Amino acid sequence: MELPSNLIPDEASPEWMNKGDNAWQLTTATLVGLQTIPGLVILYGSMVKRKWAINSAFMAFYAFAMVLVCWVGWGFRMSFGDKLVFFLGKPGVALDEKFLLKRAFAGYLPTATMVFFQSVFAAITVVLIAGSLLGRMNFRAWILFVPLWFTFSYTIAAFSIWCPQGWLAKLGVIDFAGGFVIHLSAGVAGFTAAFWVGPRAEKDRRNCPPNNVILMLAGAGLLWMGWSGFNGGAPFVASTISGLAILNTHVCTATSILTWLLLDSLFFGKPSVLGAIQGMITGLVCITPAAGVVQCWAAIIMGIISGSVPWYTMMVLHNKVKLLKLVDDPIAIFHTHAIAGGLGGILTGFFAVPKLCRLFYMVTDWEKYLGLVYGLQNGRTPAGFKQMGIQIAAMGFVIVLNVVVTSIICWFIGLIVPLRMSDEELENGDDAVHGEEAFALWHEGERLVGRRHNNKVYDTHEFSFVESKGEVQMV
């Protein structure tokens, strides 16, 4: 059969490359990139008390940039390259065209597309950890933390679970788009780091309303819609599974939001937008390990569970467990990512449909993938329990890896710089750390308070101290 002219390969579009797949993969990578830049940047910036707006946004902004550089420097090949040990690949650069223009390890795509696609996942994982550390981590300590954690934790989890040569992948773990690699990992690492860094100032812990709810919704919206790329790009092909994954993603999320709203209304009397966003996040996180391999009705069930179990752990259990109360987790990353991610991994072990796993993994031994529900239904109960066991084993591995590695990294950084900001920085916030303030809305667009730590490079004039009483004008 002769191909039409638009399908005939040439040097720039080799015969192993599919334009639809490449276009889709680049789109999904961009969508996931948008989830962080500007998604999480503005979500963090607006979710925190105003005095921490810039610092929070900056932690995210910096982390994204740093991870990308480390990724092409060594991280991609440690996560997806030739095996060094059973849990890690050999480090190596991904920087020359000879390497990047070859076909990727999976899909009808060039390696360059794959490198970029995977990089935005690595980046967002680190940015999620920042969420646990907002409002008090020494910025220099964060600068060091990013490349260290990325190199010694993310790459190991990614290789073990996603690289076809990783030990957990070989055992048959199902992590469609990162419930374990991204969310459980970030949630546990964030919690551990928050423990070592210490809490925010007492004043900040007590009183911390979001400084800009609308901007928070903007960030949340980019996060939600960008997830079409997160889960839709996981199969590395613009196939039936990617369409199903996207639908499942949004259905689970919508159900989770409505469940969380219902619980908020029943127990607190009022439906809150912040609660809706938390419910949105838990839904997105929970469906991630399962999106393309479960039925849509299962996605609804997962949404109900992800809208209620993390709600319970966050609102009820948290106040009863001493360890949880001890650690200062400002935006509850532990509940929305560790708990929801672990939950998602287990529910994947329940609901993974054999046929859909076959369509997704496209390997000859696809029959090893089997949700417990289908194991019980098809009389393959031992295989179903085995799958569940593997999911739990993967969970355990990720948890232990992160507790250990994150602790070592925090200890190591602590030898060089303090982990927590000084008391003066904690008192003054952005102005002390960055010499900048998030808003200049008062009078004719001036800053609210006098500048005590001028940033001479970007500042144009000094302002005199403006009394907040009696002169504030909201236009």
Which residues within the stretch 194-223 sit at the binding site for other proteins (CB under 8 A)? 203, 207-215, 217-222
Question: Out of 72, 148, 261, 432, which residue is the one contacting other proteins (CB under 8 A)?
Answer: 261
Q: Which is nearer to other proteins, 195 or 360 (CB)?
A: 360
Verify cis geometry, omega within 30 degrees of 0, for the bond prior to 4. Answer: no
Per rule CB under 8 A, is residue 348 in the interface with other proteins?
A: no
Per rule CB under 8 A, is residue 356 in the interface with other proteins?
A: yes
Question: Tokens 């899909």 identify what position?
Answer: 107
Question: Out of 246, 285, 305, 426, which residue is the one contacting other proteins (CB under 8 A)?
Answer: 246
Q: For residue 48, which of 133, 129, 113, 125 has the smallest C-alpha distance?
A: 133
Q: Which is nearer to other proteins, 40 or 257 (CB)?
A: 257
Options 172-180, 252-260, 339-347, 382-390: segment touching other proteins (CB under 8 A): 252-260
Q: Which is nearer to other proteins, 140 or 358 (CB)?
A: 358
Q: Which is nearer to other proteins, 291 or 338 (CB)?
A: 291
Q: Which is nearer to other proteins, 148 or 300 (CB)?
A: 300
C-alpha span between 111 and 452 (Å, rounded): 49
Torsion of CA 70, 167, 341, 410, to 10 degrees: -50
Structure tokens at 279: 């419910």
Per rule CB under 8 A, is residue 235 in the interface with other proteins?
A: yes
C-alpha span between 126 and 123 (Å, rounded): 5
Contact assessment for residue 402 and residue 153, using Cβ atoms and an 8 Å cutoff: yes
CB of 298 to other proteins, least distance (A): 9
Per rule CB under 8 A, is residue 359 in the interface with other proteins?
A: yes
Q: For residue 75, which of 126, 122, 130 has the smallest C-alpha distance?
A: 122
State which of positions 2-21 bind other proteins (CB under 8 A). 3, 7, 9, 15-21
Question: Out of 33, 131, 229, 330, which residue is the one contacting other proteins (CB under 8 A)?
Answer: 229
Question: Out of 27, 165, 308, 407, which residue is the one contacting other proteins (CB under 8 A)?
Answer: 27
Per rule CB under 8 A, is residue 187 in the interface with other proteins?
A: no
Per rule CB under 8 A, is residue 278 in the interface with other proteins?
A: no
Per rule CB under 8 A, is residue 407 in the interface with other proteins?
A: no
C-alpha span between 392 and 244 (Å, rounded): 25
- Sign of the C-alpha dihedral, residues 6, 9, 11, 13? positive
Q: Which is nearer to other proteins, 98 or 469 (CB)?
A: 469
Question: Out of 37, 234, 257, 370, which residue is the one contacting other proteins (CB under 8 A)?
Answer: 257
- Number of residues this chain uses to bind other proteins (CB under 8 A): 92
CB of 49 to other proteins, least distance (A): 4
Contact assessment for residue 211 and residue 49, using Cβ atoms and an 8 Å cutoff: yes
CB of 468 to other proteins, least distance (A): 6
C-alpha span between 305 and 233 (Å, rounded): 25
Q: Which is nearer to other proteins, 272 or 407 (CB)?
A: 272
CB of 219 to other proteins, least distance (A): 8
Q: Taking each helix axis as running N to C, give the angle between helix 240-268 and helix 213-232, from 0 to 180 degrees, rounded to the nearest 10.
A: 150
State which of positions 361-390 bind other proteins (CB under 8 A). 362
C-alpha span between 463 and 446 (Å, rounded): 8
C-alpha span between 33 and 146 (Å, rounded): 17
x/- binding map, residues 411-430, to other proteins, per CB under 8 A? ------------------x-
Q: Which is nearer to other proteins, 358 or 434 (CB)?
A: 358
Number of residues in the chain: 475
CB of 91 to other proteins, least distance (A): 26
State which of positions 282-341 bind other proteins (CB under 8 A). 295-297, 300
Q: What is the DSSP string of 168-198?
A: HHHHT---SSSIIIIIIHHHHHHHHHHHHH-
Q: What angle do CA 388, 390, 391 make, to 5 degrees?
A: 65
C-alpha span between 182 and 199 (Å, rounded): 24
Question: Tokens 């916030």 identify what position?
Answer: 429
Question: Out of 101, 225, 317, 466, which residue is the one contacting other proteins (CB under 8 A)?
Answer: 225
What Cα–Cα distance (Å) separates residue 237 from each residue in 109, 115, 441?
Answer: 9, 15, 47
Q: How far does Cα 294 stand from its chain's mean position?
A: 21
Per rule CB under 8 A, is residue 474 in the interface with other proteins?
A: yes
Q: Which is nearer to other proteins, 50 or 136 (CB)?
A: 50
Cβ partners under 8 Å of residue 51, min gap 6: 204, 428, 429, 430, 431
State which of positions 161-180 bind other proteins (CB under 8 A). none
State which of positions 75-134 bind other proteins (CB under 8 A). 106, 108
Per rule CB under 8 A, is residue 50 in the interface with other proteins?
A: yes
Question: Out of 171, 392, 441, 466, which residue is the one contacting other proteins (CB under 8 A)?
Answer: 441
C-alpha span between 93 and 392 (Å, rounded): 33
